[in-house]
Amino acid sequence: KAGVTQTPRYLIKTRGQQVTLSCSPISGHRSVSWYQQTPGQGLQFLFEYFSETQRNKGNFPGRFSGRQFSNSRSEMNVSTLELGDSALYLCASSMGPSPTEAFFGQGTRLTVV
């Protein structure tokens, strides 16, 4: 059974640009959550989608957005990139909808220069 796949693995972007990250969950999983990991703030919840609906959103500015498609694949978008957005962005998939085992992908390392 394939795991959670995140693409791309690495990205370098310039301040002010926007970026789209992709996540394909484990087959059969309908919940996808996104997290930002930085050395200073640790792992922070961004948002969670279940059956194409955003059910919960973390304390991040509106520049961070996401969506989920009918096949459960998810994308997150960050607009007007800032240097502080440099982080490892992790996607986790769960069978859903209740808190259950969440399996993480390897993440996308975003560097903003």
Binding footprint of another protein on the chain (CB under 8 A): 4, 6, 31, 33, 35, 42-45, 48, 50, 55-56, 58, 90, 92, 94, 96-107
As measured in angstroms, the least distance from the Cβ of 17 to another protein is: 25
Of 37 and 79, nearer to another protein (C-beta) is 37
Q: Which is nearer to another protein, 2 or 101 (CB)?
A: 101
* Closer CB to another protein, 85 or 105, in the complex: 105
Q: Which is nearer to another protein, 6 or 19 (CB)?
A: 6
Sign of the four-CA dihedral 70, 79, 95, 93: positive
Rounded distance, CA 71 to CA 77, Å? 18
Q: State the minimum distance, in angstroms, from the CB of residue 16 to another protein.
A: 28
Residues 6+ apart with CB under 8 A from 19: 11, 13, 77, 78, 81, 110
Shortest gap between Cβ of 11 and another protein (angstroms)? Answer: 15
29 Cβ contact list (under 8 Å, min separation 6): 72, 93, 94, 95, 96, 103
The contacts of residue 12 (CB under 8 Å, 6+ apart) are: 111, 112, 113
* Least separation in angstroms between CB 85 and another protein: 19
